[in-house]
Chain A
């Protein structure tokens, strides 16, 4: 579904990622050939003093935000860019939601290019922790 006439301040619908699954991290570790055991070995996480649950790969957290933007903008081809700062680890079992709002709109030949502030929130949207934040650009 394409959105019409985005305006500055518009908040796109919250995108519920759901609960982060430790088993998915194992698949991604194999796909990325990532040897860091914090993504699958609880003992390794413990020994580093980082808690007692596997830690999600940072690119997975970026991917959730990309999913939200694709869902809102109507397709992969409308995704233009995403820049993020990693603010905290995301752990297996965390419940995540992507929120964001439009900060600028540039009218181009293909449509409206919307720049957005985006956040990945752990817990409830109103009072949870922001674990990743940044800017994104999508074509609407």
Chain B
């Protein structure tokens, strides 16, 4: 398990970032999957704020977990997820994704034992204009036996 000092040192870590092309067919299929209407596809489903950000932050989830000395087999869980849109995204547009780790805390609970709560924020820009923000938190279980301490 990484030390609390190491954990804190990850705050501010900047993701490599990348570009995301919002393919019209992906919007159509997403609408179909989640039961949204497909009769007006000038605007993309709001969840593309999440899909674009996570897809193009520049590291895979497994690589993200590795930054915190964990793998998906450690039972990493989603804590909270947030999307904020300044304006609707559009199928056919290309967006630039950037972001960083914004907080990291070591905590204890009866259910999870010792765990680390890591927050990160990803920004979505188009032509230097901020379009949306995706904020997420992951829970990294560390030592279950600590729960009884």
Contact = CB atoms under 8 A, between A and B. Distances in A.
A81 B55 CA distance: 19
Contacts of A95: none
A30 to B, nearest CB: 9
Interface residues of A, number: 30
Interface stretch (B10-18, B24-32, B108-116, B123-131): B24-32
Contact of B85 (A24, A62, A80): A80
Contacts of B51: 31-32, 59
Given A31-B30, A59-B51, A76-B88, A17 B35 contact: yes
A67 to B, nearest CB: 5
A76 B82 contact: no
B22 interface: no
Interface string B15-50: 000000000001001101111100000011111001
Contacts of A75: 43
A41 to B, nearest CB: 15
Contact of A79 (B46, B72, B82, B135): B46
B34 A67 contact: yes
B22 to A, nearest CB: 12
A63 interface: yes
Contacts of A63: 30, 33-34, 36, 45-47
A7 interface: no
Given A59-B51, A63-B45, A86-B78, A80 B33 contact: no
Contacts of A67: 34-36
A70 B34 CA distance: 13
A66 B35 contact: no
Given A59-B51, A79-B46, A81-B85, A31 B80 contact: no
A82 B46 contact: yes
A59 B53 CA distance: 13
Q: Which of B34, B79, B80, B87 has the most chain A CB atoms closer than 10 A to its own CB?
A: B34
Given A58-B81, A83-B80, A77 B43 contact: yes
B33 A18 contact: no
B33 A31 contact: yes
22 contacts: A27-B33, A33-B55, A36-B72, A58-B78, A59-B50, A60-B34, A63-B33, A63-B46, A67-B34, A70-B46, A76-B43, A76-B44, A77-B88, A79-B88, A80-B85, A82-B46, A82-B83, A84-B80, A84-B81, A86-B79, A86-B80, A86-B81
Nearest 6 Cβ contacts at the A-B interface: A63-B34, A83-B82, A81-B84, A76-B43, A24-B33, A63-B47
